[in-house]
Amino acid sequence: MRVIDTDFEGLYELEPKVFGDDRGYFFESFREDFTHSLGIKEKFIQDNQSFSVKGTLRGLHFQRNPSAQAKLVRVTAGKVLDVALDIRKDSPTYGRHHTVILDAKKHNMFLIPAGFAHGFLALEDSVFTYKCSNYYNQASEGGILWNDPKLNIDWQIESPIVSEKDQVLPNFETYSKNPSF
């Protein structure tokens, strides 16, 4: 597996070694010993999957402690612009984000440690999978407004399809004043 560093502690893009021939392909999409070697010690205990039509934007979401989640995400069909926003108060990259294009043809993945808000934009109709280190807990759910101008995230779209819930999330400044993380 090839590891692409992001300059954010614990945040990595991963490209698996794909073995292909005229029958198709094979690759390892997860190995616990590998994620542990990168410093991700959490055990992944829940898998989620979503389908999004082209132009759908989901996020920026997170789970507060004690239900914070590390995530290993990828697309199994389509292509998305994936965004991780560092919300770890003591981090030198606090308030900064990193983006990566996840592409089913490329089979790449994004390993996101706990302490990041996460969102994505479907660049094509896409099936998105999440491997999570903690169970979803509605009481711990949080979010930050996807289009907060202070975050300066280039979503590469003028008018995405966004849920009502995601349209009214607090901006980053409001979150920073009361993070409860």
- From the list 25, 61, 94, 175, the catalytic residue is 61
The answer to whether residue 61 is catalytic is yes
Q: Tell me the CA distances in angstroms from 75 to 85, 107, 153, one per residue in order.
A: 19, 7, 21
- From the list 12, 118, 130, 175, the catalytic residue is 130
The answer to whether residue 25 is catalytic is no
Query: Which H helix or E strand runs over 86?
Result: strand 79-86
**Average pLDDT estimate for 13-27:** 91
Domains along the sequence of the chain with CATH: 2-177 (2.60.120.10)
Residue with tokens 């389908």: 51
Per-residue pLDDT, 56: 98
**27: pLDDT strictly greater than 70:** yes
Q: How confident is the model at residue 181 (pLDDT cuts 50, 70, 90)?
A: low
Per-residue pLDDT, 48: 96
Reported as a single tens digit per residue, the pLDDT across 92-147 is 999 999 999 999 999 999 999 999 999 999 999 999 999 999 999 999 999 999 99
Alpha-carbon distance 100 to 6, whole Å? Answer: 10
**32: pLDDT strictly greater than 90:** no
Supply the pTM of this predicted model. 0.92
Reported as a single tens digit per residue, the pLDDT across 105-118 is 999 999 999 999 99
